[in-house]
Amino acid sequence: GIRIRGQSVSEEVCVLRNENDGTLSVIVSRDGEVRVNGTAISRDGRASVYHNDRIVFGRAFAFRVVVPEARAADEGAADPAEHKHVLRQLEANTDVDEALQTFVEDLQAQHGGNTSEEFLALYRSIRFCVDEANDITMTLMQDDRLFFSVECLAGRQARPQDAVVVRVLQQVIHEDGAASFLPF
């Protein structure tokens, strides 16, 4: 098997299966996080994979599928902008909760569609980085119990992007066993 180690990559992510020397499939494990061409494959799910498809494991490992028989038909190497495209696809798949969706709808009503779309793209980009920072922090500094959060400030900022704040919090365990997060 192939072993990769890194943030948001579980012990067993998936099984890649070559059936009949041409039909490839990815079978995602219960703990795996896999995307094919930007589309998340459900846990315990299965997807067919074809020549030139992109497979992303976790958040950081992106691979291009090469089927030797099909490679001869290619007209050249991969586009150098591919890395940025993959990153944008991953950012676009960052979850948006109901409160944020309401915030974006309010922005759209106040400032128009382009502004709300730009804000949402910015938020997803920041959220993607914050999620990765939390994974890294949990791996390297677990005892510090630090957590990064992205928040949207209510009110009318001069620019909608000024409404995004990243906070660093620290988990505190109280005498009664309850936990809370306090500003760090």
> What pLDDT digit, counting tens, does each position of 133-162 carry?
888 888 788 888 898 988 877 666 667 667
Integer angstrom CA distances of residue 85 from 14, 115, 152: 23, 22, 26
Query: Distance (Å, rounded) from C-alpha 87 to C-alpha 54?
Result: 12
Tokens of 166: 């990243």
- Count of CA atoms in the C-beta half-sphere (13 A) of 149: 14
pLDDT at 49 over 60: yes
* pLDDT at position 81: 55
Residues 86-124 as b/e (b if ≥16 CB within 10 A, e otherwise) read: bebbbbeebeeeeebeebbeebbeeeeeebbeebbeebb
Query: Distance (Å, rounded) from C-alpha 7 to C-alpha 139?
Result: 8
Mean pLDDT, rounded, of the chain: 77
Is the pTM higher than 0.75? Answer: no
pLDDT in tens, 15-38: 888 877 667 889 998 888 888 888
- Count of CA atoms in the C-beta half-sphere (13 A) of 123: 25
**Locus of tokens 């997803």:** 124
180: exposed, middle or buried (C-beta count within 10 Å: 0-12, 13-18, 19+)? exposed
> In this predicted model, which residue has the larger pLDDT, 96 or 46?
46
Percent of the chain with pLDDT over 70: 76
* pLDDT at position 176: 92
